[in-house]
Structure formats: C-alpha cells, structure tokens
Amino acid sequence: MFLSVSRVLNILIRNAGVMTPPEGRTKDGFETQFGTNHVAHFLLINLLMPALLAGANSERFS
C-alpha cells in the first residue's frame, strides 16, 4: 500500500473503471460497474486523504 512507503501524495488521478461488465456484484453487494467506478474511487480518496493533505501543505509548493 502507498501509505507504507510515503506519507505525502501530491497528486491523484482517478481514471480507472469498467464499462458494460458482465452482470455481477462486488464482495460488498454493489453492482459491479457502480462498485468499481464510484464506490472504489470514493474509498481510495478517503484512504489517501491524509497523504493528499500533507502534499498540499508541503513546503515544496510554497
């Protein structure tokens, strides 16, 4: 996981996703496309938010 290597993340581009996957469900019960394209991105942002905030506050960009 990223946070085990670094505490600072300066940028995050979220462009991964699926389109018209076979009908199915994630482990949490969401429809596959919704779970992959929306819920997974939401979770990723929330997990990385401390590192993103640290990157925004780093002196390198002042």
Report the SS3 class of residue 12: coil
Predicted confidence at residue 61, as pLDDT, reads 54
How many separate helices (H) and strands (E) can be counted in the chain? Answer: 2, 0
Predicted confidence at residue 60, as pLDDT, reads 61
Rounded Cα–Cα distance for residues 46 and 62 (Å): 25
Q: pLDDT tens-digit profile of 5-62?
A: 999 999 999 898 999 999 999 999 999 999 999 999 999 999 999 999 998 876 665 5
Predicted confidence at residue 57, as pLDDT, reads 76
- The C-alpha angle 35, 15, 20, rounded to 5 degrees, equals 50
Domain boundaries, the chain: 2-11+22-61
Predicted confidence at residue 16, as pLDDT, reads 86
Predicted confidence at residue 1, as pLDDT, reads 82
Give this prediction's pTM.
0.77
